[in-house]
Chain A
Amino acid sequence: MKRLLLSAAALIAAPAFAETVAFTGGTVAVGDGSAPIPGGTVVIRDGRVVAAGAGVAVPAGARVVDATGKWVSAGIVASFNTEGLYNGEDIGEGNDTSARTSPFHAAIDVSVAINPMTQAIPVDRASGVTRAIVAPDATGSIFAGQGAVIDLGADPMPVTRARAFQFVELGEAEERRGETRPGRYAQLHDALAEARDFQHSPATFDGRGKDALLTRADAAALLPVIDGRMPLVVHVERASDILQVLDLKRQYPALKLVLFGVSEGWMVAPQIAAAHVPVVTAALANLPASFEALAATESNAGRLEQAGVPVSISTVDVASEGGQRLLKQYAGNLVAITKVPGMTGLDWGHAFATITSGPAAALGMDGEIGSLRAGRRADVVVWDGDPLELSSAPVAVFIDGVQQPLTSRQTRLRDRYLNPTEGALPKAYDR
């Protein structure tokens, strides 16, 4: 009966305003790396978290969601993906992930292209993903452009932060077959130097000249990067390449680096830790898929964490055809491998943080999103069981304190075909 009531609550049309809600009696997963709290309470008000944990008082007048037997957690933050940018990986029409022939590269801003109505957003929202960190694809240059942080809410205003980071591609991707490593590093160093020139003398910057590698807009986009006001996310896999990227800080001490991919990160974990650089890696990449990933192992995240590196995970390097909802399975695997002799995994709290506060912290946004710590945006998910377990699913999702619908094209198709045969009318009339 409680389950039915909660499910009914989840199905009520979400109010368009945030309210005061208390989630009581469930296991609370704050998402900050701490262990789950049985029998805790979460209180949200006016779109923000008031408190989460054991012994939290329920405010008078609050709507109470009884989460007994369930879990209440921070919403998942999906790192470095293409949420909202296209209708499908191989469907070219409407694809806004990359601009192969554009004269602009670092200046590209994906926030103007986010479509909150793409099919994937309701699917991932119903799976507990509440924010996504959207990255452009790099084609034509190592600089892919400026990524955005979005929410997966049902409202039409998805952008949480535009121009949240600059994305640089230094991996051995197919598109850059003709470019050498020295060429890519020269391009990176030269671009940063040109941005610095632009900073010193914007009026005389020759950004339109025939030989310029940077347009004026590109140089302007890189200013906050060299000043450390905007994180520079670099995709890199090989151990020696990671060291080359870390070395950028010698010349640009203010750089706020984030390493992405890093299949061989464990081999240089002490150096990454010493540089205080956060890492976003693939939880399950364990194949020598390329020569830059020969030492890939599922223990990468665990070893990096043990070395003191802040770690979060992404669906990169492993299949993402199921969408960002796969993140919870991947995080669960990081817990599973703690039981395998010779493997290094994470305890539950830290595994969950790799898909909640970890990605937010990598961009310096963990004061705003990614956990149920007081003051954060009220992105709350109620689950019918352990969020990392394969059998569990959300029964309620709140974003900015507003309850969200859990329906999608997928649930509509499922309901239409529970019985595959036609009735008195064609299937097209079943709604």
Chain B
Amino acid sequence: MSLAACAQAPAAKPKSASASPSSPKLAAPWTTDPYPSTYHAYPGVPTLVTNVTIYDGEGGRIDNGAVLFADGKVVQVGQSIAPPAGATVIDGHGKWVTPGIIDVHSHMGDYPAPGVQANSDGNEATAPTTPEVWAEHSVWPQDPQFSRALMNGGVTTLQILPGSANLMGGRSVIVKNVYARTEQGMKFPGAPYGLKMACGENPKRVYGSKGREPSTRMGNIAVDRMTWAKATEYKRRWEKYEKDGGEPPTRDIAMDTLAGVLDGKILVQNHCYRADEMAIVMDMSKEFGYHVSAFHHGVESYKIADLLKANNVCAAVWADWYGFKMEAYDGIPENLALLQKAGTCAMIHSDDPNGVQHLNQEVAKAQAAGRRAGIAIPDEVAWEWLAINPAKAIGLSDRIGSLKPGKMADVVLWNGNPLSVYSRPDMVWIDGALMYDAKDPKRRPVSDFELGQPGEGDVK
């Protein structure tokens, strides 16, 4: 089957009008990979950080510990590790080591800096459902915002999503926070795609103001359901073709994405603020047989923490944003802590090129709000909100999101406790390659856009 997929272009038609029994069948188009990643890890040297406080990203902590990584992978994490021959040894006294931060909600590259209309490519706001668009086809790999997330924020992996103007905004892409000449060069190899969906105010405002459906919340859900019904039929037709042969169904790029969701290959990332709307969306997902991987923003998640846990749905939230629109009116700083208390898969996210630079600080604020509410969350457990939990939400928890042997060596060395306002990254490795070093201007990326501009190469 994979050989057939390689042998045929996805949209190829059989030569004869009626397929002969000997012609190989087309693969279901949502299983193909027409825009493959060309990312490669840069060379690193075996590196041992010693005498350091470790948050491993899965709730574990080691004081005065050691982390060894080589060949792009974590090799060993423990109290004491003998340095292998040729390894670079870094004394981490007074410093902390963590897995690289994962931000599951970003529009960097799609809404880059500078924020000019010509590069404002995050929302295909021309129809309420545009699952046919892919965020990766808008990513500007020279966006200066990527460098700030790396150097100031210790962010190593990002999910870039279409915006929330549409009920179904299109596919997200997972990228390594490593500059490249092309978007494909940043793309995380083999990562699952996401589908951006949105509830609430944004879609009905955008289309209601054009006199189109949807203009109400009930219109939002109705259009979603009609679209899922079509996707179900489309998927059924491809399954029938796979089983019985004959003429393959007409290719529909939009339906490919939705069929991929129904097939469990593409993860739903659902923008949603209100608790009651999230409950409706979870019922809709059961109606059509798909699963919501995470609700994003989830300002009212704390009101249904038990339902989220029961449905195995993650919540990606802000630490303290509230009040800027009606559906954000009930935001509280204890949101994350209350989710943790209920055992929900919870995480911080940014949705902002400034906020992405201090997600560690956002977690510290949420942790402190929880403590004041009587919910004590240790530092090392709070770090799950930046590491293993976001990795789960994007289907990569077996490859990133913690300092465990065999995982990708996305590592940050901080110049103090990363949950203090006074700490910043000292060094950041991605796949074991040193991509930022605060003490070495040569390890400070400057995008094409900033080259030759005022402030070029300055510490930002």
Contacts and interface: CB of A to CB of B under 8 A. Distances in A.
Contacts of A329: 358, 361, 365, 421
B42 interface: no
Contacts, number: 178
Nearest to A421: B306
Interface residues of A, number: 58
A429 interface: no
A413 interface: yes
A288 B364 contact: no
Given A332-B422, A335-B422, A319 B355 contact: yes
B372 A393 contact: yes
A336 B373 contact: no
A420 B302 contact: yes
A287 B111 CA distance: 13
Contact of A295 (B326, B338, B453): B453
Nearest to A320: B324
A388 interface: yes
A120 B321 CA distance: 11
A137 interface: no
Contacts of B321: 319, 321-322
A267 B421 contact: no
B214 interface: no
Contacts of B458: 295, 297, 299, 342
Interface string B321-336: 1111110111111100
Residue of A290, A318, A420 most packed against chain B (CB within 10 A): A420
Contact of B441 (A264, A340, A342): A342
Interface in B336-376: 338, 341-342, 352-355, 357-358, 361, 364-365, 367-368, 371-374
B86 to A, nearest CB: 27
Interface string B424-441: 100000000000001101
Nearest to A343: B459
Contacts of B152: 286, 298
A239 interface: yes
A88 B424 contact: no
Interface residues of B, number: 67
Contacts of B342: 420
A397 to B, nearest CB: 15
A341 B459 contact: yes
A121 to B, nearest CB: 11
A388 B148 CA distance: 22
Contacts of B422: 332, 335-336, 339, 389
A417 interface: yes
Q: Is the interface of B mostly helix, strand, loop or mixed?
A: loop
Contact of A342 (B322, B338, B455, B459): B459
Contacts of A298: 152, 460
Interface string A13-42: 000000000000000000000000000000
Contacts of B305: 417, 420
A119 interface: yes
Interface in B268-324: 302-306, 318-324
A295 B454 contact: yes
Contact of B334 (A319, A323, A414): A414
B64 interface: no
A418 B332 CA distance: 12
A343 B460 CA distance: 8
A410 interface: yes
Given A298-B460, A333-B358, A340-B438, A420 B320 contact: no
A288 to B, nearest CB: 5
Interface in A289-312: 289-291, 293-299
B261 interface: no
Contacts of A291: 114, 116
B382 to A, nearest CB: 11
A284 B357 contact: yes
Contacts of B354: 284-285, 287, 318-319
Interface in B175-199: none
A90 B342 CA distance: 31
A319 B305 CA distance: 27
Interface in B43-78: none
A189 B373 CA distance: 55
Interface in B407-431: 415-416, 419-424
B183 to A, nearest CB: 20
B211 interface: no
A298 B439 CA distance: 17
A294 B453 contact: yes
13 contacts: A89-B323, A90-B201, A90-B324, A90-B325, A264-B455, A284-B357, A297-B458, A319-B355, A322-B320, A339-B415, A391-B371, A391-B419, A417-B305
The 6 closest A-B pairs by CB, nearest first: A295-B455, A332-B421, A342-B459, A390-B364, A90-B325, A295-B454
Interface of B: 113-116, 144-145, 148, 152, 201, 302-306, 318-326, 328-334, 338, 341-342, 352-355, 357-358, 361, 364-365, 367-368, 371-374, 415-416, 419-424, 438-439, 441, 449-450, 453-455, 458-460
Given A297-B458, A333-B421, 13 more contacts: A88-B325, A89-B325, A267-B454, A286-B148, A286-B152, A286-B357, A289-B115, A290-B114, A294-B450, A295-B455, A336-B423, A343-B459, A410-B322
